[in-house]
Protein backbone atom coordinates (compact mmCIF):
# COMPACT_ATOMS: atom_id res chain seq x y z
CA UNK A 1 0.00 0.00 0.00
CA UNK A 2 2.90 2.34 0.76
CA UNK A 3 4.35 1.66 -2.68
CA UNK A 4 1.06 2.38 -4.32
CA UNK A 5 0.83 5.72 -2.53
CA UNK A 6 4.41 6.47 -3.49
CA UNK A 7 3.65 5.80 -7.15
CA UNK A 8 1.03 8.58 -7.01
CA UNK A 9 3.58 11.13 -5.90
CA UNK A 10 5.63 13.39 -8.13
CA UNK A 11 8.80 12.36 -6.29
CA UNK A 12 8.23 8.98 -4.55
CA UNK A 13 11.68 9.17 -2.95
CA UNK A 14 10.56 12.34 -1.14
CA UNK A 15 7.48 10.72 0.38
CA UNK A 16 6.85 13.31 3.11
CA UNK A 17 7.35 16.47 1.01
CA UNK A 18 6.31 15.46 -2.51
CA UNK A 19 3.14 16.71 -4.23
CA UNK A 20 0.64 14.25 -5.66
CA UNK A 21 0.46 13.69 -9.40
CA UNK A 22 -2.50 15.21 -11.28
CA UNK A 23 -5.52 12.92 -10.90
CA UNK A 24 -7.14 13.56 -14.30
CA UNK A 25 -8.01 10.30 -16.11
CA UNK A 26 -5.57 9.56 -18.92
CA UNK A 27 -8.23 9.62 -21.68
CA UNK A 28 -9.55 13.00 -20.48
CA UNK A 29 -6.00 14.30 -20.19
CA UNK A 30 -5.15 13.22 -23.75
CA UNK A 31 -8.27 14.80 -25.26
CA UNK A 32 -7.82 17.99 -23.27
CA UNK A 33 -4.15 18.30 -24.18
CA UNK A 34 -4.84 17.69 -27.87
CA UNK A 35 -7.45 20.47 -27.84
CA UNK A 36 -5.19 22.89 -25.97
CA UNK A 37 -2.15 22.12 -28.14
CA UNK A 38 -4.31 22.73 -31.23
CA UNK A 39 -5.44 26.11 -29.85
CA UNK A 40 -1.82 26.94 -29.03
CA UNK A 41 -0.67 26.13 -32.59
CA UNK A 42 -3.52 28.11 -34.15
CA UNK A 43 -2.65 31.07 -31.92
CA UNK A 44 1.01 30.96 -32.93
CA UNK A 45 0.29 30.60 -36.67
CA UNK A 46 -2.43 33.28 -36.91
CA UNK A 47 -0.52 35.87 -34.92
CA UNK A 48 2.66 35.12 -36.85
CA UNK A 49 0.69 35.91 -40.02
CA UNK A 50 -0.34 39.26 -38.51
CA UNK A 51 3.27 40.03 -37.54
CA UNK A 52 4.59 39.16 -41.01
CA UNK A 53 1.80 41.10 -42.74
CA UNK A 54 2.27 44.36 -40.86
CA UNK A 55 6.08 44.10 -40.82
CA UNK A 56 6.50 43.21 -44.50
CA UNK A 57 4.03 45.37 -46.40
CA UNK A 58 4.91 49.06 -46.27
CA UNK A 59 1.33 50.06 -47.01
CA UNK A 60 0.41 48.62 -43.62
CA UNK A 61 2.96 50.72 -41.71
CA UNK A 62 0.27 52.94 -40.18
CA UNK A 63 -0.06 53.99 -36.53
CA UNK A 64 -3.12 51.78 -35.98
CA UNK A 65 -1.44 48.74 -37.52
CA UNK A 66 1.71 49.29 -35.42
CA UNK A 67 -0.52 48.96 -32.35
CA UNK A 68 -2.11 45.81 -33.80
CA UNK A 69 1.42 44.49 -34.42
CA UNK A 70 2.32 45.06 -30.76
CA UNK A 71 -0.83 43.22 -29.66
CA UNK A 72 -0.03 40.38 -32.09
CA UNK A 73 3.47 40.05 -30.61
CA UNK A 74 2.07 39.61 -27.10
CA UNK A 75 -0.54 37.14 -28.44
CA UNK A 76 2.19 35.23 -30.31
CA UNK A 77 4.24 34.89 -27.11
CA UNK A 78 1.16 33.65 -25.28
CA UNK A 79 0.68 30.88 -27.86
CA UNK A 80 4.37 30.03 -28.12
CA UNK A 81 5.37 30.08 -24.43
CA UNK A 82 2.53 30.50 -21.97
CA UNK A 83 -0.01 28.04 -23.37
CA UNK A 84 2.49 25.13 -23.57
CA UNK A 85 3.71 25.84 -20.02
CA UNK A 86 0.13 25.97 -18.73
CA UNK A 87 -0.65 22.68 -20.50
CA UNK A 88 2.43 21.09 -18.92
CA UNK A 89 1.57 22.52 -15.50
CA UNK A 90 -2.00 21.24 -15.72
CA UNK A 91 -1.19 17.70 -16.87
CA UNK A 92 2.06 16.84 -15.08
CA UNK A 93 4.12 17.51 -11.99
CA UNK A 94 6.16 20.70 -12.15
CA UNK A 95 9.73 19.43 -12.61
CA UNK A 96 11.22 22.60 -14.13
CA UNK A 97 12.22 24.13 -10.82
CA UNK A 98 11.29 27.22 -8.84
CA UNK A 99 13.21 29.66 -11.05
CA UNK A 100 11.35 28.60 -14.20
CA UNK A 101 8.09 28.77 -12.23
CA UNK A 102 8.77 32.40 -11.29
CA UNK A 103 9.84 33.16 -14.86
CA UNK A 104 6.54 31.67 -16.06
CA UNK A 105 4.67 33.87 -13.57
CA UNK A 106 6.63 36.90 -14.79
CA UNK A 107 5.73 36.17 -18.42
CA UNK A 108 2.05 35.67 -17.54
CA UNK A 109 1.88 38.96 -15.63
CA UNK A 110 3.85 40.89 -18.25
CA UNK A 111 1.64 39.62 -21.10
CA UNK A 112 -1.51 40.51 -19.15
CA UNK A 113 -0.25 44.01 -18.42
CA UNK A 114 1.20 44.58 -21.91
CA UNK A 115 -2.05 43.48 -23.54
CA UNK A 116 -4.16 45.92 -21.55
CA UNK A 117 -1.61 48.62 -22.40
CA UNK A 118 -1.98 47.83 -26.11
CA UNK A 119 -5.77 47.94 -25.85
CA UNK A 120 -5.62 51.38 -24.17
CA UNK A 121 -3.32 52.71 -26.90
CA UNK A 122 -5.64 51.32 -29.60
CA UNK A 123 -8.61 53.03 -27.95
CA UNK A 124 -6.81 56.38 -27.76
CA UNK A 125 -5.75 56.03 -31.41
CA UNK A 126 -9.40 55.55 -32.47
CA UNK A 127 -10.50 58.44 -30.25
CA UNK A 128 -8.18 60.89 -32.00
CA UNK A 129 -8.99 59.48 -35.45
CA UNK A 130 -12.75 59.84 -34.99
CA UNK A 131 -13.07 62.87 -32.71
CA UNK A 132 -10.20 64.95 -34.12
CA UNK A 133 -9.76 63.69 -37.71
CA UNK A 134 -8.00 66.80 -39.02
CA UNK A 135 -5.39 66.68 -36.25
CA UNK A 136 -4.88 62.90 -36.41
CA UNK A 137 -2.06 62.89 -39.04
CA UNK A 138 -0.21 65.52 -37.01
CA UNK A 139 -0.68 64.10 -33.51
CA UNK A 140 -0.52 60.39 -34.28
CA UNK A 141 2.56 59.48 -36.31
CA UNK A 142 4.25 56.13 -36.80
CA UNK A 143 7.33 57.30 -34.87
CA UNK A 144 5.29 58.50 -31.89
CA UNK A 145 3.26 55.29 -31.82
CA UNK A 146 6.44 53.17 -31.89
CA UNK A 147 7.81 55.18 -28.95
CA UNK A 148 4.55 54.75 -27.02
CA UNK A 149 4.56 50.99 -27.67
CA UNK A 150 8.18 50.63 -26.50
CA UNK A 151 7.55 52.73 -23.39
CA UNK A 152 4.42 50.69 -22.63
CA UNK A 153 6.32 47.38 -22.81
CA UNK A 154 9.20 48.77 -20.70
CA UNK A 155 6.84 50.24 -18.09
CA UNK A 156 4.89 47.02 -17.69
CA UNK A 157 8.12 45.02 -17.58
CA UNK A 158 9.31 47.17 -14.67
CA UNK A 159 5.90 47.05 -12.99
CA UNK A 160 5.88 43.24 -13.22
CA UNK A 161 9.24 43.11 -11.42
CA UNK A 162 7.78 45.19 -8.57
CA UNK A 163 4.56 43.15 -8.66
CA UNK A 164 6.46 39.84 -8.25
CA UNK A 165 9.23 41.24 -6.07
CA UNK A 166 8.87 38.70 -3.25
CA UNK A 167 8.76 35.70 -5.58
CA UNK A 168 11.74 36.98 -7.60
CA UNK A 169 13.80 37.44 -4.43
CA UNK A 170 13.01 33.97 -3.08
CA UNK A 171 11.60 31.59 -5.75
CA UNK A 172 9.40 28.81 -4.41
CA UNK A 173 9.04 30.45 -1.00
CA UNK A 174 5.33 29.57 -0.82
CA UNK A 175 5.36 26.07 -2.33
CA UNK A 176 3.81 23.59 0.08
CA UNK A 177 5.49 20.57 -1.53
CA UNK A 178 7.93 19.54 -4.26
CA UNK A 179 6.38 19.33 -7.72
CA UNK A 180 4.07 22.36 -7.67
CA UNK A 181 4.30 25.87 -9.07
CA UNK A 182 2.38 28.49 -7.11
CA UNK A 183 2.71 32.26 -6.98
CA UNK A 184 1.48 34.35 -4.06
CA UNK A 185 1.11 38.10 -4.44
CA UNK A 186 1.02 40.53 -1.52
CA UNK A 187 -2.13 42.56 -0.86
CA UNK A 188 -0.25 45.82 -1.45
CA UNK A 189 0.94 44.63 -4.88
CA UNK A 190 -2.57 43.45 -5.79
CA UNK A 191 -4.06 46.79 -4.69
CA UNK A 192 -1.60 48.65 -6.93
CA UNK A 193 -2.36 46.19 -9.71
CA UNK A 194 -6.10 46.78 -9.28
CA UNK A 195 -5.72 50.54 -9.72
CA UNK A 196 -2.95 50.75 -12.33
CA UNK A 197 -3.80 47.84 -14.62
CA UNK A 198 -7.55 47.44 -14.22
CA UNK A 199 -9.58 50.39 -12.89
CA UNK A 200 -7.70 53.17 -14.70
CA UNK A 201 -7.19 51.37 -18.07
CA UNK A 202 -10.75 50.01 -18.23
CA UNK A 203 -12.15 53.44 -17.27
CA UNK A 204 -10.11 55.05 -20.05
CA UNK A 205 -11.26 52.42 -22.57
CA UNK A 206 -14.95 52.81 -21.67
CA UNK A 207 -14.79 56.62 -21.67
CA UNK A 208 -12.95 56.73 -25.00
CA UNK A 209 -15.36 54.41 -26.80
CA UNK A 210 -18.41 56.19 -25.40
CA UNK A 211 -16.98 59.42 -26.87
CA UNK A 212 -16.09 57.73 -30.16
CA UNK A 213 -19.56 56.35 -30.75
CA UNK A 214 -21.24 59.55 -29.56
CA UNK A 215 -19.31 61.41 -32.26
CA UNK A 216 -20.08 58.69 -34.81
CA UNK A 217 -23.81 58.95 -34.05
CA UNK A 218 -23.75 62.75 -34.28
CA UNK A 219 -22.04 62.53 -37.67
CA UNK A 220 -24.64 60.05 -38.88
CA UNK A 221 -27.49 62.32 -37.71
CA UNK A 222 -25.88 65.33 -39.36
CA UNK A 223 -25.52 63.49 -42.66
CA UNK A 224 -29.17 62.39 -42.57
CA UNK A 225 -30.22 65.99 -41.92
CA UNK A 226 -28.53 67.04 -45.20
CA UNK A 227 -26.35 69.68 -43.61
CA UNK A 228 -24.71 71.56 -46.47
CA UNK A 229 -21.95 73.40 -44.69
CA UNK A 230 -18.90 72.59 -46.80
CA UNK A 231 -16.38 72.67 -43.96
CA UNK A 232 -18.41 70.36 -41.79
CA UNK A 233 -19.11 68.02 -44.67
CA UNK A 234 -15.39 67.87 -45.37
CA UNK A 235 -14.76 67.03 -41.72
CA UNK A 236 -17.34 64.25 -41.89
CA UNK A 237 -15.79 62.92 -45.09
CA UNK A 238 -12.35 62.92 -43.51
CA UNK A 239 -13.74 60.77 -40.70
CA UNK A 240 -15.16 58.55 -43.45
CA UNK A 241 -16.76 55.18 -43.41
CA UNK A 242 -13.40 53.45 -43.29
CA UNK A 243 -12.50 55.16 -40.01
CA UNK A 244 -15.88 54.33 -38.52
CA UNK A 245 -15.56 50.73 -39.69
CA UNK A 246 -12.10 50.55 -38.10
CA UNK A 247 -13.55 51.91 -34.86
CA UNK A 248 -16.31 49.27 -34.89
CA UNK A 249 -13.79 46.51 -35.58
CA UNK A 250 -11.50 47.62 -32.79
CA UNK A 251 -14.51 48.00 -30.48
CA UNK A 252 -15.27 44.31 -31.09
CA UNK A 253 -11.61 43.56 -30.31
CA UNK A 254 -11.84 45.50 -27.02
CA UNK A 255 -15.16 43.93 -25.97
CA UNK A 256 -13.92 40.39 -26.64
CA UNK A 257 -10.73 41.19 -24.74
CA UNK A 258 -12.63 42.44 -21.70
CA UNK A 259 -14.92 39.38 -21.73
CA UNK A 260 -11.87 37.10 -21.62
CA UNK A 261 -9.86 39.35 -19.29
CA UNK A 262 -12.30 40.33 -16.52
CA UNK A 263 -12.97 36.82 -15.05
CA UNK A 264 -9.23 36.17 -14.77
CA UNK A 265 -8.62 39.56 -13.22
CA UNK A 266 -11.52 39.30 -10.76
CA UNK A 267 -10.19 35.92 -9.64
CA UNK A 268 -6.73 37.38 -9.08
CA UNK A 269 -8.30 39.96 -6.75
CA UNK A 270 -9.92 37.42 -4.42
CA UNK A 271 -7.02 34.98 -4.07
CA UNK A 272 -3.31 35.30 -3.39
CA UNK A 273 -2.52 32.07 -5.28
CA UNK A 274 -2.62 32.89 -8.98
CA UNK A 275 -1.58 29.50 -10.35
CA UNK A 276 -2.44 26.78 -7.88
CA UNK A 277 -5.99 25.61 -8.73
CA UNK A 278 -7.76 24.03 -11.69
CA UNK A 279 -10.18 26.98 -11.71
CA UNK A 280 -7.21 29.32 -12.10
CA UNK A 281 -5.98 27.23 -15.03
CA UNK A 282 -9.39 27.54 -16.72
CA UNK A 283 -9.33 31.33 -16.33
CA UNK A 284 -5.76 31.46 -17.64
CA UNK A 285 -6.85 29.60 -20.76
CA UNK A 286 -9.92 31.82 -21.15
CA UNK A 287 -7.56 34.78 -21.17
CA UNK A 288 -5.10 32.98 -23.44
CA UNK A 289 -7.91 32.06 -25.83
CA UNK A 290 -8.35 35.76 -26.50
CA UNK A 291 -4.92 35.65 -28.18
CA UNK A 292 -6.38 33.17 -30.67
CA UNK A 293 -9.54 35.23 -31.22
CA UNK A 294 -7.80 38.52 -32.06
CA UNK A 295 -6.38 37.47 -35.47
CA UNK A 296 -9.71 35.77 -36.27
CA UNK A 297 -11.38 39.15 -35.72
CA UNK A 298 -8.86 40.71 -38.11
CA UNK A 299 -9.65 38.04 -40.71
CA UNK A 300 -13.40 38.68 -40.42
CA UNK A 301 -13.25 42.47 -40.58
CA UNK A 302 -10.03 43.45 -42.36
CA UNK A 303 -9.78 42.89 -46.10
CA UNK A 304 -6.07 43.76 -46.03
CA UNK A 305 -5.34 40.91 -43.61
CA UNK A 306 -7.04 38.31 -45.80
CA UNK A 307 -5.18 39.60 -48.86
CA UNK A 308 -1.85 39.67 -47.00
CA UNK A 309 -2.34 36.09 -45.77
CA UNK A 310 -2.99 34.95 -49.35
CA UNK A 311 0.29 36.54 -50.50
CA UNK A 312 2.18 35.00 -47.59
CA UNK A 313 0.75 31.48 -47.97
CA UNK A 314 1.43 31.48 -51.74
CA UNK A 315 5.00 32.70 -51.02
CA UNK A 316 4.53 35.76 -53.22
CA UNK A 317 6.19 37.85 -50.49
CA UNK A 318 9.50 36.25 -51.58
CA UNK A 319 9.31 38.06 -54.90
CA UNK A 320 11.36 41.28 -55.37
CA UNK A 321 9.57 44.45 -54.25
CA UNK A 322 6.66 42.45 -52.81
CA UNK A 323 6.71 44.78 -49.81
CA UNK A 324 5.37 47.52 -52.11
CA UNK A 325 2.27 45.51 -53.09
CA UNK A 326 -1.11 47.23 -52.90
CA UNK A 327 -3.22 45.23 -50.47
CA UNK A 328 -5.63 47.87 -49.18
pLDDT digits (tens, 9 = 90+) for 73-83: 999 999 999 88
Higher pLDDT, 80 or 228: 80
The whole-number pLDDT of residue 220 equals 62
Domains in the chain with CATH codes: 61-288 (1.20.1070.10)
Higher pLDDT, 109 or 236: 109
Q: What is the 3-state secondary structure (H, E, C) of the chain?
A: CHHHHHHCECCHHHCCCECECCCCCHHHHHHHHHHHHHHHHHHHHHHHHHHHHHHHCHHHCCHHHHHHHHHHHHHHHHHHHHHHHHHHHHHCCCCCHHHHHHHHHHHHHHHHHHHHHHHHHHHHHHHHHHHCCCCHHHHCCHHHHHHHHHHHHHHHHHHHHHHCHHHHHCCCCCCCCECCCCCECCHHHHHHHHHHHHHHHHHHHHHHHHHHHHHHHHHHHHHHCCCCCHHHHHHHHHHHHHHHHHHHHHHHHHHHHHHHHHHHHHHHHHCCECCCCHHHHHHHHHHHHHHHHHHHHHHHHCHHHHHHHHHHHCCHHHCCCHHHCCCC
**Per residue in 54-112, pLDDT tens?**
999 999 999 999 999 999 999 999 999 988 888 888 778 888 888 998 998 899 889 88
Q: pTM here?
A: 0.85
Amino acid sequence: MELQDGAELCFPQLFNVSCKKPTLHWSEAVLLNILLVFISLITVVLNLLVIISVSHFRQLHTPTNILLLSLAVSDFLVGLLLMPLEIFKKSACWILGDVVCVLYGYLVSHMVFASIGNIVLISVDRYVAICHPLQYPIKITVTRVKCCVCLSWLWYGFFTIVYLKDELIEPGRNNSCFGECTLFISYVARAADLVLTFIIPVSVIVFVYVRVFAVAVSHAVAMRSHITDVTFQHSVNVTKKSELKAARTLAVLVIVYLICFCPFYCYSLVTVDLTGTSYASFLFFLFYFNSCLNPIIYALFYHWFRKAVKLIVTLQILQPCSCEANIM
